[in-house]
Amino acid sequence: MWGGEVKSPFESTPLPQWLMQICQTLVGVGVFGEEKRPNHALINALNLPVTTSQSPRVHG
């Protein structure tokens, strides 16, 4: 979790630069308005297998 723990009262912490860039992009394309700029993020990690061009593929 970045930006602070979601609890009452909310205590924000600065977002990392890479996440601030994502938030700015979302505001820039109109997903969020400037007045509703994201101030925290929860990103779930998925344990997906890493695939390469050498990995077998199943079609069908």
The yes-or-no verdict on residue 54 having pLDDT over 70 is no
3-state SS assignment for residue 1: coil
- Over residues 2-19, the mean pLDDT reads 80
Counting residues of the chain whose pLDDT is more than 90, the rounded percentage is: 35
Q: Comparing 13-17, 23-27, 40-44, which segment has the lowest mean pLDDT?
A: 40-44
pTM beyond 0.85: the answer is no
DSSP per residue over 3-57, as a string? Answer: S----SS----PPPHHHHHHHHHHHHTTSS-GGG----B------PPP--TTS--
